[in-house]
Every structure is written in C-alpha cells, then in structure tokens.
C-alpha cells in the first residue's frame, strides 16, 4: 500500500482544486472516504469540496454528518470552471454524467468490482478484497504518515471507523485489510460518538416500510422477495436497511427488497432493488450484471436500478406496481436459478414472455 500512497500523492498534487464526487446514495462509507480524502488533500495544499448526487435519507447518516461536522454539498452539480479535476470514492463507475469530459478524474478509489465503462484516472485503487472503501483510505493515511492535529485526526478516524462498520455489517464481514485498518484507527477513534450514532432508534418511516415489505413476502426456495411499493426519493435508503434487517431475522440465504422510487423534483421514477445474502458463495455482482449494467454487487451485498421515467404519469399506478413486482420477482427467480446452474440461456426470452402475459391480463 506504500507504493499506492505515493502514487496517490503524485496524482492529486498535479491539481490546485479538486471536487470529490459521491454518485448514488451517500452512505457512511462513501461520506467517510470523501471526508478523509478531503483532509488528505488539504494537508497536501490541494483545495477540495465534497459533492453528493443525492441527499441523505437516514436519520443516522444525518447525525453522522452533524456530529463530525463533515462539509458536503448535497444535490448540487460540480462546476467544471471552479475545479481542475474530480475524485470518485466508493462507486463502481467513476464516469460522472454532469461532469462529462470537462474535467479529468484524478483518482478512483473503491472496493467493488471494476466496470468496463469507466474513464481513465490518474490514480486507481480498486480492491475487492477490502470490506469498505474507508479501509483503503485509512491505509493510505497510514502509509502517508500524515501528522494531522489531534482533533482533526480523531474526527477523520472516527468517520472511517464508522464507514468500515456500516459496510462490513457491524464488523461481521471483515478481512485482513479491514483488520489492519481498524488496528491503525483504534488509537484515535472516539467510540462515544460512534455509540451515539448507533443508538438512534428506527424512524417511523423505516418501521412502516419494513412492515410493508414483510406483508408482501414471497418465498422461492431459499430466497425471500419483498416488494414495498412506491417510495419518495428522500427515503430510498430504507430499502437497503430493510434488506439488512430482514436477512438478520430470517432463515433465507438471500433476501431482495425492492420499490419504485419517485423523485418529483427531478421528475424521475425508477425501480430500486437491494440484495443481501448470508452466503459468500452467492455472486451477487454477476447476478446483477446479467440483469442490468445499472448496478452491481460484492460479497453479501448488491443493488441495481431500472429507469421507469416513461411510466411516471401513468393513471394506472396499481397496475404499474403489479407489473413491476411480478416482473422483478420473476426476473430474480430465474436469475437465481441460472446463477446456481451456471448459465443464463433463454433468460431474456422468458422474461419478455412473462411481461407480455402480465400485460395481457
């Protein structure tokens, strides 16, 4: 990791000002990684700001931001005139549509499998053997031997520790890299702050969505499927939380929670699917990639999205949900069987036939 740390410094110090961009949902791992990178850049005399494509939806994540005073511009696009380059942490694709080719990518750091459709970056650190991106950033700091002021170090370390905790399911899926990072971070972490963040009770919305999911349970072999219905975009993170909770409290090998997300402000509608598995042998990334390029996975976790903008103003919302639910469950049943049998022959033909039969009813 020492060579990687040196290459990172060489890459980012070519620029005076860098935008750190968090695509997708800003979870603690992405936020902590971005925050730590910003502080590293400041130490290297490189100005940086953090941007998140979407706003926070979980009270826990909001408290995380507030307690550590992490500066993030939510829901704002990056102005290419203000920055010389950009960095993407904790996301499979470092291609940012709103930036395009107007800025170079200074660095791409992630722990998910690399996508083919990505732009070249000055520095790339992608380790699928890491439980979180926060792990990789922590090891960069360790090898750079940066002497942060104590208060600043405590804040950075606490953020990275919480990022590792959330992406390793409360440290239950750690590996040697995570252990090395946590050992390094343990000297400065403020465990009282982490405990305070963890003590937030589930919100009423979370309990409502969890109840809806459980009421719509569909079981297929050793998998469970849970459709919630329509959800406002500000609450989309509850899908992943519901999937985590259901997996912990069920005997299913894998659970899938999904909903139709509506963003009135951006005039968007899309299907959002979260997959969780208790088996390390289930290749969720392969499964998702066979369904759509708009998603991916790693060990134990996966997610994908399907654009539904064309149906945003449909007068038949109940019918739309029935089609989405039936198609999603059927797609994933077939994907599950193909994954276990090792092939996807006839998959898309069967999917088209299923959609046609639903629409004819």
Number of domains forming the structure of the chain: 2
In this prediction, residue 351 carries a pLDDT of 53
In this prediction, residue 113 carries a pLDDT of 83
Q: 132 and 159 share a domain?
A: yes
d(CA 20, CA 33): 10
Nearest Cα residue to 110 out of 97, 95, 124, 123: 124
Q: Which domain holds residue 232?
A: 204-360
Last residue of a domain, one of 143, 177, 198: 198
Q: 175 and 316 share a domain?
A: no
Q: 74 and 29 share a domain?
A: yes
Q: Is 298 helix (H, G, I), strand (E, B) or coil?
A: strand
Q: 156 and 274 share a domain?
A: no
- Per residue of the chain (361 residues), what is the pLDDT tens digit? 889 999 999 999 999 999 999 998 899 999 999 999 999 999 999 999 999 988 887 889 999 999 999 999 998 889 889 999 999 999 988 999 889 889 999 999 999 887 777 899 999 999 999 999 999 999 999 999 988 999 999 999 999 999 999 999 889 889 999 999 999 999 999 999 999 999 888 788 888 999 999 999 999 999 999 999 999 988 888 999 899 999 988 999 999 999 999 988 889 999 999 999 998 889 999 899 989 988 888 888 999 999 999 999 999 999 999 999 999 999 999 999 988 876 444 444 455 555 655 655 5
In this prediction, residue 356 carries a pLDDT of 56
* DSSP letters for 122-167: EEEEE-TTSS-HHHHHHHHHHHHT----HHHHHHHHHHHHHHHHHH
In this prediction, residue 346 carries a pLDDT of 43
Last residue of a domain, one of 145, 168, 198: 198
Q: 318 and 284 share a domain?
A: yes
Question: pLDDT by residue (tens digit) across 7-42?
Answer: 999 999 999 999 999 998 899 999 999 999 999 999
Q: 167 and 225 share a domain?
A: no
Question: pLDDT by residue (tens digit) across 247-302?
Answer: 988 999 999 999 999 988 889 999 999 999 998 889 999 899 989 988 888 888 99
Q: 212 and 194 share a domain?
A: no
Tokens of 173: 């899926």
Tell me the CATH number at 306: 3.10.310.40
User: Looking at the DSSP assignment, which residues form a beta bridge with residue 89?
Assistant: 109
Q: 176 and 237 share a domain?
A: no
Q: 214 and 282 share a domain?
A: yes
Helices (H), 118-274: 133-144, 150-167, 176-185, 191-198, 204-215, 237-248
Q: 178 and 230 share a domain?
A: no
Q: 247 and 185 share a domain?
A: no
In this prediction, residue 347 carries a pLDDT of 47
In this prediction, residue 254 carries a pLDDT of 96
Residue with tokens 């998959």: 347
Tell me the CATH number at 12: 3.90.1640.10
Q: 349 and 262 share a domain?
A: yes
* DSSP letters for 1-67: -HHHHHHHHHHHTT-SEEEEEE-SS--HHHHHHHHHHHHHHHHTT-EEEEEESS----HHHHHHHHH
Last residue of a domain, one of 153, 177, 198: 198
- Asked whether the beta carbons of 73 and 250 are under 8 A apart, the reply is no
């Amino acid at each position: 990791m020492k060579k990687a740390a040196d290459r990172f410094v060489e890459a980012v110090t070519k620029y005076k000002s860098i935008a750190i961009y968090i695509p997708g949902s800003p979870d603690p791992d992405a936020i902590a990684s971005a925050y730590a990178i910003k502080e590293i850049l400041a130490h290297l005399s490189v100005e940086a700001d953090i941007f998140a494509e979407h706003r926070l939806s979980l009270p826990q994540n909001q408290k995380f931001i507030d307690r550590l005073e992490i500066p993030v511009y939510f829901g704002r696009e990056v102005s290419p005139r203000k920055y010389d380059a950009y960095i993407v942490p904790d996301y499979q694709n470092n291609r940012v549509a709103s930036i395009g080719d107007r800025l170079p990518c200074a660095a791409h750091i992630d722990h998910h499998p690399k996508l083919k459709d990505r732009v070249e970056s000055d520095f790339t650190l992608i380790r699928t053997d890491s439980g979180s991106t926060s792990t990789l950033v922590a090891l960069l700091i360790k090898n750079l031997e940066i002497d942060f002021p104590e208060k600043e170090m405590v804040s950075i370390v606490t953020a990275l520790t919480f990022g590792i905790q959330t992406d390793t399911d409360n440290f239950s899926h750690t590996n040697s890299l995570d252990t090395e990072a946590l050992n390094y971070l343990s000297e400065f972490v403020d465990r009282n702050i982490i405990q305070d963040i963890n003590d937030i009770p589930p919100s009423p919305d979370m309990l409502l969505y969890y109840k809806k999911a459980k009421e719509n349970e569909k079981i297929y072999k050793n998998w469970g499927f849970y459709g919630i219905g329509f959800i406002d975009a500000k609450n989309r993170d509850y899908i992943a939380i519901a999937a985590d909770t259901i997996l912990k409290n069920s005997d299913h090998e894998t659970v899938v929670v999904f909903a139709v997300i509506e963003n009135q402000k951006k005039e968007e509608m899309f299907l959002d699917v979260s997959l969780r598995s208790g088996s390390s042998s289930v290749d969720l990334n392969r499964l998702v990639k066979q369904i759509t390029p708009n998603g991916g996975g790693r060990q134990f976790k996966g997610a994908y999205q399907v654009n539904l903008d064309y149906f945003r103003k449909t007068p038949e919302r109940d019918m739309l949900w029935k089609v989405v639910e039936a198609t999603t469950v059927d797609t994933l049943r077939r994907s599950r069987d193909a994954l276990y049998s090792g092939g996807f022959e006839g998959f898309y033909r069967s999917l088209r036939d299923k959609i046609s039969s639903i629409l004819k009813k």
